[in-house]
Amino acid sequence: MQEKRLVPMIDQTEIREINRQLALKITDDYSLILAKEEPIIVLVTLKGALFFAADLMREIGIPSQVDFVRVSSYGAGTQSSGKVAMSKEIETDIHGKHVLVLDEIVDSGRTLKFLSERFLKQGPRSLKLAALLSKPSRREVEINVDYIGREIPDRFVVGYGLDHANNYREMPFIGILD
Ligand code: 5GP
Ligand code: MG
């Protein structure tokens, strides 16, 4: 098997700028609907959205409460299995709350569709979806993602939370794994 090559795609400065722009938009939108001092509930998909969530939440100018969900659709390869499995549920009662779901990347769209259908059943006041990255050319299911940081071509990327077989997550930049 050939060694994989890592080609830089989005550096730390760009990631910071993407997060800043996303946070501005999110802060604006929620300022209109939140009651005074009402927090939004941020639901983070483990493990990939860990760094994105940590950075974005600190840029958002409104109070928030965080919880985590774990889903997987990829297994250890670079191709999606087409199935979404949940291995950790949230522990927060989101009924009547304003909920924002964070994923690091939208690919087929199955993960965010699965999660939004599931969370909607729990009666949130509102539910929005945000992703740092999106590969529009890979979409297989219809899903409206409210906030997207950056659209990228159909390449497998790692770093800043994104993994390959659980490696590369800690890299501060995003690169293409070839
Ligand atoms: P979807 O359900 O939209 O097909 O896939 C979403 C999940 O697949 C993402 O949250 C992420 O975990 C994984 N994924 C999709 N594309 C990539 C990629 O290019 N790199 C990595 N590391 N994970 C990806
Ligand atoms: Mg993920």
Q: At residue 92, does pLDDT exceed 60?
A: yes
Return the exposure string of 77-100: e unless at least 16 CB atoms fall within 10 Å of the residue's CB, then b.
eeebeeebeeeeebebebeebbbb
The whole-number pLDDT of residue 83 equals: 81
* pLDDT classification of 59: cutoffs 50, 70, 90: very high
Ranking 74-78, 139-143, 171-175 by mean pLDDT, the lowest is 74-78
Q: At residue 80, does pLDDT exceed 70?
A: no
**Is the CB of 174 inside a 6 Å radius of any atom of ligand 1?**
no
For a pocket test of ligand 1, which of 107, 166, 178 has the largest count of ligand atoms closer than 8 A to its C-beta?
A: 107
Q: How far apart are CA 15 and CA 109, in angstroms?
A: 22
The whole-number pLDDT of residue 3 equals: 78
Pick the catalytic residue from 29, 107, 163, 178: 107
Average pLDDT over residues 57-66: 96
Tell me, yes or no, if 107 is annotated catalytic: yes
* pLDDT classification of 82: cutoffs 50, 70, 90: confident
Q: What are the two backbone dihedrals, phi and then psi, of residue 50, each rounded to the nearest 5 degrees?
A: -55, -50
The whole-number pLDDT of residue 109 equals: 96
**Is the CB of 73 inside a 6 Å radius of any atom of ligand 1?**
yes
The whole-number pLDDT of residue 2 equals: 65
Angle between helices 12-33 and 50-59 (to 10 degrees): 60
How remote is the CA of residue 152 from the centroid of ligand 1, in Å? 12
Q: What are the two backbone dihedrals, phi and then psi, of residue 86, each rounded to the nearest 5 degrees?
A: -105, 125
Q: Which of 112, 113, 157, 150 is nearest to 132 (CA)?
A: 150
Q: Is the peptide bond before 135 cis (omega within 30 degrees of 0)?
A: no
